[in-house]
A = this chain, B = another copy of it.
């Protein structure tokens, strides 16, 4: 890549440089060419895009941010700009149009043939994060009455522009989807076969307004390479390609991880997120958790007399509340992920609860035993009573934390609230108060104090 980059820089600075530029990028993939472009200076980037053949330029633009796409198109001369914009895949064009100022978008839209403009308008009308918002109209459609031969001829005619080429979408006169036929089925069939004889009338589809996660879920279940998107009238409005759903799968996991860590999800990649934005995404939860945790302080204060009598009780506060928080965090992350993957659903609440409570009791027993040993052997302050109080508390706190950490996400899921808001930090905070209450109550009883 470094070699290519230097060759490219040199080529761009030469006069009449098209051949040199093309040679310098050799047989690189569009993604790699886009990476090279990003390392160039602004005016070199412009020069580079203008030198590239139209189709390749459009493919390279796909990998750039909408703002840069717009700047590069905008600075081409008029004809080139129109051609380039029209050559963009339709889903890329839609993202670009939605990212720029509406007035700028309006100008770009006037450049397009009317029918294409209308289809883009439809795609643009779907709210963000819906299946429709991810769809492209660069697929190949055919009619039931066509023969395989006619269909292949059609592919040769329009295939150049198509982004989705593994399937042909068979529609009726009203634009409704009859079925999806794979290119393989078409190639293997004899030329005179009618598509009507291949179709099965049972396509797996997603609704344009359904969540993009739903589309990703369907696609991973059925192992398809693309999934058709239909409107309320069952008309085919577009197709989502697997690569766009791979991005959705990445993004949804990232969002869940950030939420589970106790912050609001970031809208952008890490390096594109400023420290100030990180602060804004985190401060809300941090303050909420802070105020919730303040209650724990009041509970300790309630046991001031016991604490004054046996000051050693305070030595075990961090140990006990962390043990609860840790086991709660283990449970909540596992369950939230299982819910996100659809491994468990509403009907599994009791099963999950039973499993987590059993694990919690076992974990409580082991850590409780360790806590007993620790508190009954700590030089200077140790006593069997203290050991028993700390050990028993550890047991109850861990069992309690596991139970709460199982119940809460399952309940939220049932209420159709995203369970990932129950972060590790939130569970820790929620179980702390009860943990402290349990600890001092047991200690008071066993040690006969306060």
Chain A contact residues, CB within 8 Å of chain B: 26-29, 31, 152, 155-156, 159-160, 162, 165-166, 182-184, 187-188, 200-202, 204, 219-225, 241-243, 245-247, 249-250, 253-254, 256-258, 260-263, 266, 269-271, 273-276, 278-279, 282-283, 285-287, 289-291, 293-294, 296-298, 300-301, 304, 307-308, 311-312, 314-319, 321-323, 325-327, 329-338, 341, 343-344, 348, 351-352, 354-356, 358-359, 362-363, 366-367, 370-371, 374, 378, 380-381, 398, 423-425, 428-429, 432, 436
Given known A-B contacts A221-B31, A301-B381, A334-B266, A367 and B290 have beta carbons under 8 A apart: yes
Q: List 28 A-B contacts (CB under 8 A).
A: A27-B202, A31-B223, A166-B166, A183-B183, A183-B184, A220-B250, A225-B242, A242-B246, A246-B249, A257-B257, A260-B260, A260-B333, A262-B333, A262-B424, A271-B343, A273-B355, A279-B363, A283-B362, A283-B366, A283-B367, A290-B370, A294-B374, A300-B314, A300-B317, A301-B380, A307-B311, A308-B308, A329-B424
Q: Across the interface, do A188 and B202 meet the contact criterion of CB distance under 8 Å?
A: no
Give the distance in Å from the alpha carbon of A331 to the alpha carbon of B281 in the complex: 11
> A341 is contacted by which of B222, B254, B330 (Cβ under 8 Å)?
B254
Q: Across the interface, do A301 and B315 meet the contact criterion of CB distance under 8 Å?
A: yes
**Copies per complex of this chain:** 2
- Closest Cβ of chain B to A232, distance in Å, is 23
Given known A-B contacts A155-B187, A260-B260, A290-B371, A297 and B315 have beta carbons under 8 A apart: yes
Q: Across the interface, do B330 and A318 meet the contact criterion of CB distance under 8 Å?
A: no
Q: Which residue of B lies closest to A261 (CB)?
A: B333
| Given A287-B367, A289-B323, 15 other A-B residues pairs in contact with their CB atoms under 8 A | A224-B243, A256-B257, A258-B337, A263-B330, A274-B355, A279-B362, A283-B367, A287-B366, A290-B370, A293-B322, A297-B374, A297-B378, A322-B429, A322-B432, A325-B428
> A31 is contacted by which of B162, B222, B380 (Cβ under 8 Å)?
B222
Chain B residues with CB below 8 A from A367, complex form:
283, 286-287, 290
> A333 is contacted by which of B165, B257, B321 (Cβ under 8 Å)?
B257
Give the distance in Å from the alpha carbon of A296 to the alpha carbon of B378 in the complex: 13
Q: Across the interface, do B290 and A319 meet the contact criterion of CB distance under 8 Å?
A: yes
Q: Across the interface, do A257 and B260 meet the contact criterion of CB distance under 8 Å?
A: yes
Give the distance in Å from the alpha carbon of A225 to the alpha carbon of B165 in the complex: 11
Q: Across the interface, do A297 and B271 meet the contact criterion of CB distance under 8 Å?
A: no
Give the distance in Å from the alpha carbon of A222 to the alpha carbon of B32 in the complex: 9
Give the distance in Å from the alpha carbon of A323 to the alpha carbon of B159 in the complex: 58
Give the distance in Å from the alpha carbon of A287 to the alpha carbon of B152 in the complex: 65
Q: Which residue of B lies closest to A265 (CB)?
A: B334
Give the distance in Å from the alpha carbon of A257 to the alpha carbon of B337 in the complex: 7
Q: Which residue of B lies closest to A223 (CB)?
A: B243
Give the distance in Å from the alpha carbon of A336 to the alpha carbon of B201 in the complex: 46
- Closest Cβ of chain B to A294, distance in Å, is 6
- Closest Cβ of chain B to A29, distance in Å, is 6
Q: Across the interface, do B311 and A293 meet the contact criterion of CB distance under 8 Å?
A: no
Q: Which residue of B lies closest to A313 (CB)?
A: B314
Chain B residues with CB below 8 A from A312, complex form:
301
Q: Which residue of B lies closest to A204 (CB)?
A: B29
Chain B residues with CB below 8 A from A220, complex form:
243, 246-247, 250
